Amino acid sequence: MILQELTTELTRCQSLGECDDFLLFNLNEIRPIFYSETFHELQQNSRHFEYEDSFNAFANSSTGAAIRGGQKPTDSVVALLIFFLSLFEKAQLYNSILAVADLLPDGSLRCRCQAIFKYKHITDASSDYITRFDCILQFLQEAWNSSSDVVRLQCEDLLHEYAFEAVLKPSYVGCDIRQDVFQCFTDEQAQQRYPILKKLPHQSLRDLGFDGLSLALSEVRSRIIESLHIEACELVPTALFAGLSDEVIEDSVPIFQVITSLPDFLSTQLSVMNAVYSPQRQKARFNFDSDTDQNRIYLGTYFPRTVIESQNIYQELLSIPVISDSFSKKTAIRIMDIGSGTGAAVIGFVLALSKWGKCQGPVKITSIDYNIDALDKQRQILASVGKELSFELQYQPLHVPFPFDLDGFVSAFTSIAEREGSVYDVVSCWKCLCEFYNVNFAQAQGIIKNTLRLASQILKSNGFCVVADVTTKDNAFEYFPITLNRESNDHDRSLNAISRTILPVPCSRNSLTCHTHCFTQRRFKVSHQLAQNDETKIAYRVLAPLAFADLITASFTDHKAYRVNAATPTEACFDGHKSKSTASYPSGFTNLFEQGV
C-alpha cells in the first residue's frame, strides 16, 4: 500500500467502526509507509507535506469527525495515530504532533504527545527550553503517573530527550544554557513537584561533552521510536505482531540440489580453526558482536550451511546460459559481500566458479563486516581455499559498523557506493539484514529496499545481486521472509529502479503485482565432518540491472506456474497469487537450467 491509497481508504470510511475494520485488516501493510522513508526522502519534493495532507484528510473525515464529536478512538486508530506521531517527529512537522494529540483520548499518550510538541516546537532556543519547563514536566509527570511500567520507561526517555536537547540545540546556534538547564532539572522543589525528575542522570547532564550527549540523545531517540512502535503493536496485536510462518510445517518437497557436502579441504581448514558444531537458537539472531569462541561455533554450525546454499545458488545462476556467456568473457570477477562475517557466502561463490570451470580469474573479493575477528577468520579460510583453486583470490576486508537504523544505514552505504562506483560483477548480502530488523524493527524498515537500490548502483551492467536471509521467526513483528518479499517488491516497483528481480521465477514475473503476505523459502541438505544431514532454510532474491535482467528472464522456461515455498509444496504462484494446486509445478528457484527441478 502507498500513502495515497491509505488516504483514499481513510477518507472513504463512513464511521469509526468501518475505519476500525479497515485498519485491523491493513495496519501491517500501513506500518512501512510510516517508517521506511529516510529523512532525506521525506524532505525531497516536500514529500513530508503529503503525510500532513493525509493526516488532515483523516482528521476531517467521518472518522475524525466522530472522534471530535466525543466517540473514543478505537485501538487501531490510536495505533495509526502513533504511526503519524513518529513520522511527524522524524519529518520535524511539530505542529502536526499537536494535531495528533487533539485526536487522542485523555490519558498518558495524549500527555506524552503534548510534552513532545512543547519541547520540539522551539521558536527561541535560548529561552523556550527553560520557560516551558513546568508545562512540559506537568505533561510528563501526568503521563508517568498513569502509565504501565513499560510506558514509564518511555516517559523517562522523553524526559532525557528533553533535557539533552535543551543543552544541545541552543549550542548549535551559539548559545550555552547548560547551567540554567542543569539548575532547572536539579531544583529541589521541582523534584518534589515532579518525582520523574529523579530518574534523570544529572551527572551526564552536567559533565558529558557535546559528543557524549549527542550519542546519548541518539540512543534515547532510538528507544523512544521502538517503544512507541511496540505500544502501537500491543494495542492491536493481531494486526501488528507476526502471525504467519513456516516454523511448524515439517512437510517439504526436496528441490534438486547439486552440492550437499563441503569439500574435504574446507572441512579440514575448519577443523584446523577449531570449528565447533553447536546450534544456538537465540544467539543466531545477532552475530555482529560475536567473540572468537562464538565465531568458532559459527564456523562449525552456520558457515557450512551458508556455503552449501551459496554454492548451489551460484552454480544454478552460472548454469543460466546468458549469465555463463557473459561471465566467461570477464578477465576478472569482483564480488562485494555485505555482512560477510567469516565469508561462507564468498566461499560458496568461489567454489561455484571453480566447478563452473570458465573463470579466468583473478577473483577480487571485498568483504564488509562489523566483526573484525570474523573478517580475520575469513582471511585464513580464503588463503587455504585459494590453494585448491585454478584462479587467484584477492581479499579486501572492510571493517564497517553499519548503523542499525534506516537513515544511518543508507548514509553509510551511500558513501561506500559513491566511493566504489559500478565495478562489481556480484553483490551479495547473506543472512545479515535480518540482524538490523532484530535490533530495531521500526527503524530498520526500508533497509532491504535500500540495500537493493544501492547494491544495484555498484553493479556492472552485466552483474547480479543476491540477498538471502533466514526463515526463522526472530523478531516479534513480521516473519522475515515476508519482510524480504515486501521490500524487494517495493524496490522493483520504484520508478527509479535500475535493476529488477530475476529469481525466484514467479517473483521476477510478478513483483509488481505480488501480495505482500506471500513469502518464498528453500531448504537445503548439508553434510560435513561435524554434522551429517543437517538442514538449512533460506529466502532469497536475485536481481540484475534492467537490460541484463530482460535478457536472462527471456531465456526462462514458460510454465503456467511455479512452486515457491518448500514448506507448502501444494502451493504455486499464479500471476502473483499463491494458490493451492494438486498439479505438479516446477520449482520457482532453478528454472530448470540445472539437471533437476
Nearer to ligand SAM, 170 or 341 (CB): 341
Query: Per rule CB under 6 A, is residue 279 in the interface with ligand SAM?
Result: no
Q: Between 154 and 306, name the residue whose CB sits nearer to ligand SAM.
A: 306
Report d(CA 264, CA 270) in Å as an integer: 10
Specify the amino acid at residue 393.
L
**430 is an interface residue for ligand SAM by CB under 6 A:** yes
- DSSP 3-state of 195: helix
Taking CB under 6 A as the binding criterion, the range among 255-263, 365-373, 455-463, 489-497 that sits at the site for ligand SAM is 365-373
Smallest Cα–Cα separation from 498: which of 445, 459, 537? 459
Q: Which grid coordinates are listed for 555? A: 531465456
374 binds ligand SAM (CB under 6 A): yes
Torsion of CA 391, 396, 401, 404, to 10 degrees: -30
Residue nearest to ligand SAM (CB): 341
Compute the distance between CA of residue 529 and CA of residue 522 in angstroms, rounded to an integer. 23
Could you say which of 27, 116, 432, 497 contacts ligand SAM (CB under 6 A)? 432
The full DSSP string for 463-532 is EEEEEEEE-S--SSSS-HHHHHHHHHHHHHH-TT--EEEEESHHHHHHTTT--TT---BEEEEEEETTEE
CA angle (301, 427, 448) in 5-degree steps: 80
Residues in the interface with ligand SAM (CB under 6 A) total 22
DSSP letter at 562? B
340 binds ligand SAM (CB under 6 A): yes
Q: Please identify which residue in 107, 195, 401, 596 interacts with ligand SAM, judged by CB under 6 A.
A: 401
Q: Is position 303 an interface residue for ligand SAM (rule: CB under 6 A)?
A: yes
Exactly one of 1, 242, 332, 400 binds ligand SAM (CB under 6 A); that residue is 400
CB neighbour list of residue 582: distance below 8 Å, 6 or more residues apart? 570
Which span (67-75, 354-362, 376-384, 430-438) binds ligand SAM, by CB under 6 A?
430-438
Least CB distance from residue 400 to ligand SAM, whole Å? 6
Strand partners, 429: 338, 467
Q: Quick one: which of 287, 312, 450, 565 contacts ligand SAM (CB under 6 A)?
A: 287
433 versus 552: smaller Cβ distance to ligand SAM: 433
Does position 402 interact with ligand SAM (CB under 6 A)? The reply is: yes
**Cα distance between residue 246 and residue 580, in whole Å:** 16
Alpha-carbon span 231 to 262, nearest angstrom = 46
288 binds ligand SAM (CB under 6 A): yes
Please state the closest distance from residue 442 (CB atom) to ligand SAM, in A: 16
- Which helix (H) or strand (E) segment is 270 a member of? helix 264-272
298 vs 477, beta carbon nearer ligand SAM: 298
Nearest distance from C-beta of residue 188 to ligand SAM, angstroms: 43
Distances (CA, A) of 65 to 68, 172, 220, 269, 402: 5, 41, 35, 69, 45
407 part of the interface to ligand SAM, by CB under 6 A: no
- 170-189: contacts with ligand SAM (CB under 6 A): none
Comparison of 467 and 503: residue with beta carbon closer to ligand SAM: 467
By CB under 6 A, which span of 87-95, 128-136, 369-377, 515-523 interacts with ligand SAM? 369-377
Binding of residue 139 to ligand SAM (CB under 6 A): no
- Residue 405 interacts with ligand SAM (CB under 6 A)? no
Q: Please report how close the Cβ of residue 468 comes to ligand SAM at its closest, in angstroms.
A: 8
Q: Is 370 in the site for ligand SAM (CB under 6 A)?
A: yes
Window of 74-82, 202-210, 273-281, 335-343 that interacts with ligand SAM by CB under 6 A: 335-343
* Residue with smaller CB distance to ligand SAM, 257 or 326: 257
Q: Which is nearer to ligand SAM, 107 or 401 (CB)?
A: 401
Handedness of CA 413, 414, 420, 421 (dihedral sign): positive
**266 touches ligand SAM (CB under 6 A):** no
Q: Is 481 in the site for ligand SAM (CB under 6 A)?
A: no
Residues with Cβ < 8 Å from 32, sequence gap 6 or more?
A: 445, 446, 486, 487, 490
The single residue among 32, 64, 341, 504 that binds ligand SAM, judged by CB under 6 A, is: 341
> Which residues fall within 8 angstroms of residue 546, CB to CB, at 6 or more apart?
497, 498, 499, 500
Residue 393 has phi, psi (to 5 degrees) of -110, 130
Does residue 378 belong to the site contacting ligand SAM (CB under 6 A)? no
Q: Could you tell me the smallest distance in angstroms from the CB atom of residue 324 to ligand SAM?
A: 24
Question: Is 435 a binder of ligand SAM (CB under 6 A)?
Answer: yes
d(CA 449, CA 456): 11
Binding range to ligand SAM, per CB under 6 A, among 2-10, 200-208, 368-376, 521-529: 368-376
b/e code 22-42 from CB counts within 10 Å (16+ = b): bbbebbbbbbbbbbbbbeebb
β-pair type (531-545, 499-503): antiparallel
CA pseudo-torsion sign 492, 497, 503, 509: positive
Helices assigned H by DSSP within 359-446 = 372-386, 406-420, 433-439, 441-444
546 binds ligand SAM (CB under 6 A): no
C-beta of 341 vs 446, nearer to ligand SAM: 341
- Per CB under 6 A, does 369 bind ligand SAM? yes
- Tell me the closest approach of the beta carbon of residue 311 to ligand SAM, in angstroms: 12
Q: By CB under 6 A, tell whether 162 contacts ligand SAM.
A: no
- The distance of closest approach from Cβ of residue 95 to ligand SAM in the complex, given in angstroms and rounded to an integer, is 35
In the complex with ligand SAM, the residue whose CB is nearer, 111 or 266, is 266
Query: CB neighbours of 303 closer than 8 A, spacing ≥ 6?
Result: 270, 275, 342, 344
Q: Does 528 bind ligand SAM (CB under 6 A)?
A: no
Out of 300, 304, 339, 545, name the contact with ligand SAM by CB under 6 A. Answer: 339
Question: Cβ distance 432 to 338 under 8 Å?
Answer: yes
Where in 304-323 is the site for ligand SAM (CB under 6 A)?
306
Please state, in angstroms and rounded to a whole number, the distance separating the CA atoms of residues 149 and 144: 9
Q: Taking the complex as a whole, how short is the minimal distance between the CB of residue 365 and ligand SAM, in angstroms?
A: 13
The 3 state secondary structure assigned to 279-312 is CCCCHHHCCCCCCHHHHHHHHHHHHHHHHHHHHH
Residues that bind ligand SAM (CB under 6 A): 287-288, 302-303, 306, 339-341, 344-345, 369-371, 374, 400-402, 404, 430-432, 435
